[in-house]
Structure 1
Amino acid sequence: MPEILADTVQASTAPKTDLRELVLELVLRTTTAILLGAFAYGAIQHWLTDPSRITLLLLVLASCLTLGLSLFARVPKKRDWRPITVLCSLGGTYYFVGIELAPGAHLAPEAFGAVLQVAGIAWQIYAKLSLRFSFGILPANRGIVSSGAYRFMRHPIYLSYLTADIGFLLTNFGMQNLLVYAGLCMLQVMRIHREEALLSDDPEYRQYREKVRFRVLPGIY
């Protein structure tokens, strides 16, 4: 339904729309919990066969922070439900199902990859604390935040993902993982632009965008 007509919808139809979105939200969160649990179980089984692979445990931790916390995020008033946006968001969220958990090539020592993952996880925690649970899977206007991590870039959570992903890939390198993470990067860029297109309707966000120029990488992007 076009947004321009939203105010003309009769009150009797509003509960149906709300119910439909609540059902979709429930399905989305339930699917997330099931996939995350299955992934965590598989990763831990691989780690038990080789406890030196600390990057596997950190991958599980990072995934739990990324998705687990989204299960408890508040439902926003406005989200982007367009098919292309939903596909980009779901692909960028559930990419972990394509990760090869078996040992791969070490392009860097395990400890180095783990340090990058810890740095990414720490930055993710800081960024999400800055948001105070105003985050989720689909692009939405959950209120404009310009403090904390958001003083430095407009999408600091994506920087945390990138840092942790690079750490894992360097110590678990393989063609499958390379393709998964390359595809993930493209999806995340698309998600960022979709989010900004939605938020740009808010005058407060436009002012914030003028103040904080870069999206993810200061001085670059």
Structure 2
Amino acid sequence: MTRTQLAAEIGIRGLTMALLGLFVALSVHQFMRDTSRITLLVFAFAEVLTVGLAMFSRVPRERDWKPLSLVVTICATFYFLAFSIEPGVRLVPEALAAGIQVAGVLLQIYAKWSLRRSFGLLPANRGVVVVGPYRVIRHPMYLGYLVTDIGFLAANFGVRNLAIVLVQWALQAVRIVKEEQLLSKDATYRDYMSRVCYRLIRGVF
């Protein structure tokens, strides 16, 4: 990396940890006001898992620093800061919503375990991984994020939160496409794409 890129890397990681810490503190504060809202704790844990572990990811061989990719990544990563964590409408019982979240978190853990340190925030080539859940779909970690978001929304529903989820997943779709544009420069990944056809949900996308 150039000095500018290194400085940007350090700055982004430092800001990320600060914002994540703020969100966790706010979530715990809300939970202490109503200890039945376990979806808040699960969601905070999921974000620590997602963002926190990315801070220790392997430095990639190639990364997409284009403005569009940078903006999409920042918005899709820090979307949780825009959520209303005040009590919302419970569409399903809290325990069921938390169960959905846990299923999403477990899928994330499985995907991250398969990747080891080959994951991060910006689209990058950290090595091609084709084992574990990656044998079924190309982006199982993102599917885990989606399931976790659905669980949180089910117990904390509101127009604002719904809008955030919809916008966030439009951005995630762009993020996935940009990631694959970079990775498809690698012949190993092109071969992988020919064998595993779907990115996120089999038969849909």
Do the structures match in fold with TM over 0.5?
yes
Aligned to 1:118: 102
Aligned-pair distance for 1:51? 0.4
Aligned-pair distance for 1:133? 1.1
Superposed CA RMSD: 0.7
TM-score by length of 1: 0.91
CA distance in 1: counterparts of 2:202 and 2:57, whole angstroms: 27
CA distance in 2: counterparts of 1:48 and 1:23, whole angstroms: 38
Compare CA radii of gyration and give the structure with the larger one. Answer: 1
Aligned to 2:58: 74
The counterpart of 1:131, out of the listed 115, 124, 139, is 115
Q: How does 1:93-108 map to 2 (within 5 A)?
A: 93-108=77-92
CA distance in 1: counterparts of 2:76 and 2:26, whole angstroms: 20
Deviation digits for residues 5-24 of structure 1 (CA, Å, limit 9, x no counterpart)? xxxxxxxxxxxx52211111
SS of match in other structure, 2:55 = helix
Aligned-pair distance for 1:219? 2.0
CA distance in 2: counterparts of 1:63 and 1:97, whole angstroms: 10
Aligned to 1:39: 23
- Whether 1:141 aligns to 2:164 is no
CA distance in 2: counterparts of 1:134 and 1:22, whole angstroms: 18
CA distance in 2: counterparts of 1:78 and 1:18, whole angstroms: 12
> How many residue pairs are counted as aligned between the two chains?
205
Q: Aligned partner of 1:102: which letter?
A: E
Percent of matched pairs sharing the same residue: 47
- Whether 1:175 aligns to 2:174 is no
Deviation digits for residues 90-138 of structure 1 (CA, Å, limit 9, x no counterpart)? 0000001101000000111111110110000000000001001111110
Aligned-pair distance for 1:161? 0.3
SS of match in other structure, 2:62 = coil
Aligned to 1:7: none
TM-score by length of 2: 0.98
Q: Aligned partner of 2:193: which letter?
A: R
- Whether 1:159 aligns to 2:143 is yes
Deviation digits for residues 33-92 of structure 1 (CA, Å, limit 9, x no counterpart)? 000000000000000000000000001100000000001111112100110110000000
SS of match in other structure, 1:106 = coil
CA distance in 1: counterparts of 2:165 and 2:189, whole angstroms: 30
SS of match in other structure, 1:72 = coil
Q: Aligned partner of 1:58: which letter?
A: V
Q: Aligned partner of 1:134: which letter?
A: S
- Whether 1:22 aligns to 2:22 is no
Q: Aligned partner of 2:192: which letter?
A: Y
CA distance in 2: counterparts of 1:71 and 1:82, whole angstroms: 20
- Whether 1:214 aligns to 2:198 is yes
CA distance in 2: counterparts of 1:210 and 1:158, whole angstroms: 20
Aligned-pair distance for 1:146? 0.4
